[in-house]
Chains A and B, each alone.
Chain A
Amino acid sequence: QKEVEQDPGPLSVPEGAIVSLNCTYSNSAFQYFMWYRQYSRKGPELLMYTYSSGNKEDGRFTAQVDKSSKYISLFIRDSQPSDSATYLCAMSSLGNRDDKIIFGKGTRLHILP
């Protein structure tokens, strides 16, 4: 079983729709969960990070972590064409003895005008 699984897509949705992006993981040592956005031929940029379980909201973005199910989600409300990018989840135990950071392979998202 891979440590982090993420559907590669592409995922195409109409402008204004709610987008749901997800990752599953297998290592229970992960405590920090991140979402990055990567535009074509650019470096990833951090959107949000959360610690442990729960929800975190920032504008149109909501990150959700369910550690019991080892499942994390990113929701995008009122999606815009500028949201078209690849979204990578990442998980980490950085700062603990077993330092590790693992990225998902990313989901390509297309918002259709």
Chain B
Amino acid sequence: DARVTQTPRHKVTEMGQEVTMRCQPILGHNTVFWYRQTMMQGLELLAYFRNRAPLDDSGMPKDRFSAEMPDATLATLKIQPSEPRDSAVYFCASGSGRGLEQYFGPGTRLTVT
């Protein structure tokens, strides 16, 4: 049963600390997306990759967020320094081809105090 995995599932940290979230896309999928979900804003696209190359990161605050794909089996999202307003659920999704059919991971619930 192929699934997108995300670690950690929950993270509580203090303001100013670095946070790293990891995602393992489904094997064979070449498109990876990072989303952030809050009650106020809903689901927002932060960045996405195709064949490990970043295609769009316009939804991401560049001064503190960075997203990378060191290899085809790992995508990372880093926040440095973290702020309370970053508290949200962060989802990774993967897909093949154009990525229209996206499979979401279970999410990382981040709380920044």
Contacts and interface: CB of A to CB of B under 8 A. Distances in A.
B2 interface: no
A112 interface: no
Nearest to A106: B42
B104 A34 contact: no
Contacts of A21: none
Contacts of B45: 100-103
Interface in A21-55: 32, 34, 42-46, 49
B70 to A, nearest CB: 23
Contacts of B98: 94-95
Nearest to A31: B100
Contacts of B106: 42-43
A111 B43 CA distance: 24
Contacts of B25: none
B104 A94 contact: no
Contacts, number: 48
B3 to A, nearest CB: 10
Given A44-B43, A94-B99, A95-B100, 19 more contacts: A43-B4, A43-B93, A43-B104, A43-B105, A43-B107, A44-B91, A46-B102, A49-B100, A49-B101, A88-B42, A88-B43, A94-B100, A99-B48, A99-B56, A103-B42, A104-B42, A105-B41, A105-B43, A106-B43
23 contacts: A32-B100, A42-B106, A42-B107, A43-B93, A43-B105, A45-B104, A46-B101, A49-B100, A88-B43, A94-B100, A95-B98, A95-B100, A99-B48, A99-B56, A100-B45, A101-B45, A103-B35, A103-B42, A103-B43, A103-B44, A105-B41, A105-B43, A106-B42
Interface of A: 32, 34, 42-46, 49, 88, 92, 94-95, 99-106
Interface of B: 4, 33, 35, 41-45, 48, 55-56, 91, 93, 98-107
